[in-house]
Chain A
């Protein structure tokens, strides 16, 4: 069996630094396996989050060799193993301990977005009819596993710290899923502009690149939302039309 070095971010109180651990690696291993092995053999108090080990729960987000990724879906054979593999927590959020960061801000954003409000059921059986082609897009957004990797990479949050003004790509996608839901009647366009700061996004597409669910965050969610907001608030024709509605 081969050995490899993992350079893992460890904290003690408010101080943090990288520490090297050498451990055995075998075929098929992912980064999370290595972290677990180190935890079991050398550092029982090493903190990290995980649940499903299959890319389904979005718990094990970290920055691996500087890139935001899921530890459970990052195979060692994709990484240059001759050098140490660096593993550190998501940096856009306050640190808690080792690989665990405080993502609670994300959970506070969601309740601010108006909830799903379906129209009155209109099928004879008291439910609704929806065609598959009309929900394909919404289903794409609903694949989101809330790993917050997109939030971690977005410069508006990471570098400019605009957490009060901007809800970030995850929640723009969430808003898009509601806005494009064929049954939904709520109106979030005003809030998107005013409270959720959609204008801050300058379409760098970094979020799309890191999304493990391969959601086309920018092209399919954010840009169409931006267009709606522009149509609504800046386009004189549609504004006029709405006045006569």
Chain B
């Protein structure tokens, strides 16, 4: 059998984005030993890319804001299939987490009276996103990273976990390899926190990096935990469309928050043409009012460009299908027009959206202070994930916790922009606290040799098959194309069943992928191992999406275009059946307590 080194911790955190870092800090401060693992170098996780801001009802810019409004906004955005308890905790605790970041050295943009500045974002009633220009994620991850290095956490960078180890329904550790040399490592742990982020790489067009292969989702699933809400994938309305090599790279919603408008090829601001009924009362019906909103006029309603992402993405999709797209197959997003309204518009844009300015200038030769951008939908985020207890973040497996994007519940059918950065620190902290508590109360479990043997055998199999076998990159590309074409923004039963057939085929091919060479930093091998996870999450997304025969939030069915109230009472759950197949069930959403119902009523 292949050799490995062994490391033991009370709490093992898999993932060093905002959720994992915050969890590690919390667990370490509770006095237990903590190991932290990430696939890339420290500080390079997805969190670093977040642009627009972190949502928290600090009420610094508009004192009408409160946790109740934030809670109601989150539930409305999620179309009421959220875990209401998580949405409540999130709205109540986010302000403290933001203030804590400041106390740890984060430097947010300021209001004129020296407090943390907040900006408008889609679906948030008041300006709520604390931010640093358009590089908020960098500020957040760096602050947490710099805090972590003094917190007594042991970090294993560039290390990938391939499977969890379990014993009698309880997690006992994790097994993986260090990317640099390809050597295996076993981590024994009393409690494990998954903080592995998203699944964007299951699609061809995505804002996610190579890391977003749904590892945590798949690790949890294989270990026997339940996943919920997997049909809810967020397609962000504005990704770059040109040049081809940057297709999918995110254009922050902050552009629209600062007054950017969407137009089709005829110059029409098409978003005014389709405002959903439940948002009519809060949405401007003329351009003038929309502009005033972006400039902080408290009596103005928000422009329709700031409606929720699922809706804006579908409207763009419709314009494209109707042949009203831009030259490179997107629509126009224009911020340069604000020079008609603002003196110094050019400087203003560069100050508020510096990395967007940079990104377009350098990658597309476009000066966004002078011309419109071309944008189109991109796979961005998954609302679904590991089913967790709202207060403790423990999954359905003993000792296994999940936080951040790989966990599910807070977002329901659609996430509001800015709610992820707050989610990851609110629930990262909770997961760290409860995992530490769990570790204190439980002795370490056993990791059995046969289990390790099985994992290493699977991991090394691609080398045994060598060069004549299937090429991992190829299978991955075909999988991405299938998900993009058949399980994307607009879905039908027939297409999704076809996707299931193809997935079965890719599964069989994935069993035959091969690589040659050494284990050191071998990207082909890494891709071969990630493929398993991508296949699992793709199947979970597809099966859940077939099950939900209605349209809601990020999930739109052309064959069931309406929302159905019965479906508003259920979540879709997937888990591994005893025979190894994927089992899909509907689970009822527990009734909301009267106080929370009342909050929602008050905010209607």
Contact = CB atoms under 8 A, between A and B. Distances in A.
A135 B103 contact: no
A114 to B, nearest CB: 9
Interface in A105-144: 107, 110-111, 115-116, 118, 121, 126-132, 135, 138-139, 142-144
A143 B209 contact: no
Contact of B110 (A40, A44, A50, A135): A135
Interface stretch (A55-63, A161-169, A191-199): A55-63
Nearest to A100: B521
A144 B146 CA distance: 13
B114 A129 contact: yes
Interface stretch (B260-268, B354-362, B502-510): B354-362
Contacts of A126: 99
A119 to B, nearest CB: 11
A178 B146 CA distance: 11
Contacts of B355: 54-56
Nearest to A178: B105
Interface string A24-62: 001111100100000110001111111111111111000
B520 A50 contact: no
A206 interface: no
A161 B572 CA distance: 58
A131 B110 CA distance: 7
A96 interface: yes
Interface in B200-224: 209-211
B113 A129 contact: yes
Interface string B77-112: 000000000000000000000010011110101101
B600 interface: no
Given A27-B243, A47-B522, A116-B146, A53 B115 contact: no
A55 B44 CA distance: 11
A128 B102 CA distance: 9
Residue from the set A55, A57, A107 with the largest chain B CB neighbour count within 10 Å:
A57
A102 B521 CA distance: 12
A116 B107 contact: no
A56 B48 contact: yes
Interface string B41-72: 11110101100000000000000000000000
Interface stretch (B135-143, B438-446, B548-556): B135-143
B151 to A, nearest CB: 10
A30 B245 contact: yes
B435 interface: no
A26 B67 CA distance: 50
A47 B110 contact: no
A54 B363 contact: yes
Given A131-B114, A135-B107, A51 B135 contact: no
Interface in B180-212: 180, 209-211
A129 B209 contact: no
B105 A116 contact: yes
Nearest to A184: B105
A130 B40 contact: no
A53 to B, nearest CB: 6
B150 A115 contact: yes
B196 to A, nearest CB: 14
Interface in B289-327: none
A144 B523 CA distance: 27
A26 B149 CA distance: 43
Contacts of B521: 47, 96-98, 100
A201 to B, nearest CB: 22
Contacts of B105: 115-116, 118, 178, 181, 184
B249 interface: yes
A223 interface: no
Nearest to B355: A56
Nearest to B40: A51
Nearest to A53: B249
B161 interface: no
B49 A54 contact: yes
Interface string A197-241: 000000000000000000000000000000000000000000000
A75 interface: yes
Given A28-B364, A54-B363, A107-B42, A142 B246 contact: no
A51 B358 CA distance: 18
A122 to B, nearest CB: 11
Given A30-B245, A52-B209, A54-B49, A132 B473 contact: no
A137 to B, nearest CB: 10
A192 B120 CA distance: 41
B178 to A, nearest CB: 11
B345 interface: no
Residue from the set B48, B132, B517 with the largest chain A CB neighbour count within 10 Å:
B48
A45 B522 contact: yes
Nearest to B110: A132
A142 B473 contact: no
Nearest to A174: B146
Contact of A103 (B41, B112, B149, B522): B41
B147 interface: yes
A146 interface: yes
Contact of B43 (A30, A45, A146): A146
Interface string B244-258: 111001100000000
B235 interface: no
B246 A40 contact: no
- Give the 4 A-B residue pairs with the shortest CB-CB distance, closest first: A28-B243, A129-B114, A44-B524, A116-B105
23 contacts: A26-B243, A28-B243, A28-B364, A44-B471, A49-B41, A50-B209, A50-B210, A52-B209, A53-B209, A56-B135, A56-B355, A57-B40, A97-B521, A107-B155, A115-B150, A116-B104, A126-B99, A127-B99, A131-B114, A132-B109, A142-B132, A146-B43, A146-B142
Given A54-B359, A181-B107, 20 more contacts: A26-B243, A28-B245, A28-B364, A29-B243, A30-B246, A45-B518, A51-B40, A51-B44, A52-B49, A56-B355, A96-B180, A97-B521, A104-B157, A116-B105, A118-B105, A127-B99, A129-B113, A129-B114, A132-B109, A142-B142
Interface of B: 40-44, 46, 48-49, 99, 102-105, 107, 109-110, 112-115, 132-133, 135, 138-139, 142, 146-147, 149-150, 155, 157, 180, 209-211, 242-246, 249-250, 355, 358-359, 362-364, 471-473, 515-518, 520-525
